[in-house]
Amino acid sequence: MSKPKQLPPGAVIGILGGGQLGRMLSVAASRLGYRCHVYEPGAAPAGDVAHRLTTAPYEDEAALRAFAASVDVVTYEFENVPAEALDLIESIVPIRPNRRALAVSQDRLAEKDFLSGLGLSVAPYAAVDSAEDLAAAMAGRARGILKTRRFGYDGKGQVRVAAGDDPAAAWAQVGAPSVLEGFVDFSAEISVIAARGQDGAVAVYDPGLNVHRDGILRTTTVPCGLPSRLIPEAVLLASRIVTALDYVGVMGVELFVTPQGLVVNEIAPRVHNSGHWTQAGCAVDQFEQHIRAVAGLPLGDGQRHADVVMENLIGDDIQRLPQLLAQPDTQIHLYGKAESRPGRKMGHVNRIRR
């Protein structure tokens, strides 16, 4: 493998998406001497801290060309960028992580086929394109979760289905090409944040224990408190995924802990909510690690130096800010969003555990 060409200080990194992940990527890039140009069709909290912001739809070819021509490399903070926009950008400037990683993660069926093709365990699944497909897929199952193949996140785009339910009614709630996933009997959910550089080097952070509520991540705790034998298994599993994809950047890998071993829930080809704890627990957090990778720099040391609990501030949780500011060993990250709504991530806190 050839030696990566490192971006010099002052180079410009383009970021597709202007949410909180893009905001924190921009801050990390600035610490390494880079500037960021954010492309976002809507509201862009990242624009407050980036060097430059383009506000335009992904269908605006002129805006996309101007954006691509102004940067040295492009990355993204969310995976649902239209393929046509990516085609245009990639004709002008490199995109990292690569398009294969996006194609796999944008489609739940493609993702499960890819993971099972690596010999990794996933939930039982079946493609569903109609109410009739759903009825056939549910045959012999007590329950399952019907998920859209594309664009679902934080519990959106999915519906629980039980034996005896009307397939037509369940299908009508989703109404798009989907996957039926069988339920997995798991005792915990963990996630692993893995990074791979352009030179093929891999660095993996300690697994974190995740707790969800209403389909949204509430807390991630490290260490995860699981049997020590599972830690190297989770790390090696994540390494296999990023290597198989020839991946460059940071990836989040969500895993179920079951009596039969680890089952992959899903992958996210970007920095990940469950990796925010690295900001307080590691010398090089996931955001700097991602910038290092896409810029061709050596990966940093992902070793954990502190025990941390990350808590998302969702909706009215932001009203607890005065109390949080008074707490010791608490690191606060607010996302610059003007309006709080139920289910909306307004920020997060990292608490160091003594």
Which one-letter DSSP state was computed for residue 175?
-
182 is in an annotated binding site: yes
The answer to the question of whether 153 is labelled as a binding residue is: yes
Residue 8 Cα distances to 75, 154, 240, angstroms = 17, 37, 30
pLDDT band at 246 (very low <50, low <70, confident <90, very high): very high
What does residue 121 show for φ and ψ, rounded to 5 degrees? Answer: -80, 135
Tell me whether residue 157 is annotated as binding. Answer: yes
Is 184 annotated to bind ligand?
yes
The CA distance from 21 to 232, in Å, is 28
Q: Which structural domains are found in the chain, ordered by start?
A: 12-95 (3.40.50.20), 124-182 (3.30.1490.20), 188-353 (3.30.470.20)
Q: What is the pLDDT of residue 346?
A: 97
Strands (E), 80-172: 125-128, 143-148, 158-162
Mean pLDDT across the stretch 53-63? 98
Please indicate if the annotation marks 147 as binding a ligand.
yes
**Across 269-334, where does the E strand assignment appear?**
307-314, 330-334
Residue with tokens 């290092």: 292
**What do you get for the CA distance between the two ends of the chain, in Å?**
43
Residue type, 60: D
For residue 345, say whether it is annotated as part of any ligand binding site. Answer: no
Check the annotation: does 212 bind a ligand.
yes
147-171: average pLDDT:
80
Is residue 156 marked as binding? yes
Nearest to 114 by CA among 243, 207, 257, 270: 243
298-310 confidence digits (pLDDT tens): 999 999 999 999 9
Q: pLDDT of 330-351, one tens digit each?
A: 999 999 998 999 999 999 999 9
Least confident of 154-163, 178-187, 215-224: 154-163
pTM: 0.94
Q: Is 266 annotated as a binding residue?
A: yes
Is the distance from CB of 284 to CB of 304 less than 8 angstroms? no
The answer to whether the annotation marks 323 as part of a ligand binding site is no
pLDDT class of 1 with cuts at 50, 70, 90: low
Reference 191, options 137, 139, 255; nearest CA is 255
**What's the Cα-to-Cα distance from 148 to each of 63, 123, 178, rounded to whole Å?**
30, 15, 4
Residue range 188-197: mean pLDDT, rounded: 98
112 is in an annotated binding site: no
Find out whether 155 is annotated in a ligand binding site: yes
User: Nearest 5 degrees, angle CA 181-CA 19-CA 21?
Assistant: 75
Displacement of CA 209 from its chain's centroid (Å): 16
Residue 124 and residue 256 in contact, taking contact as beta carbons nearer than 8 Å = no
CA distance 347 to 317: 9
- pLDDT at 183 (0 to 100): 87
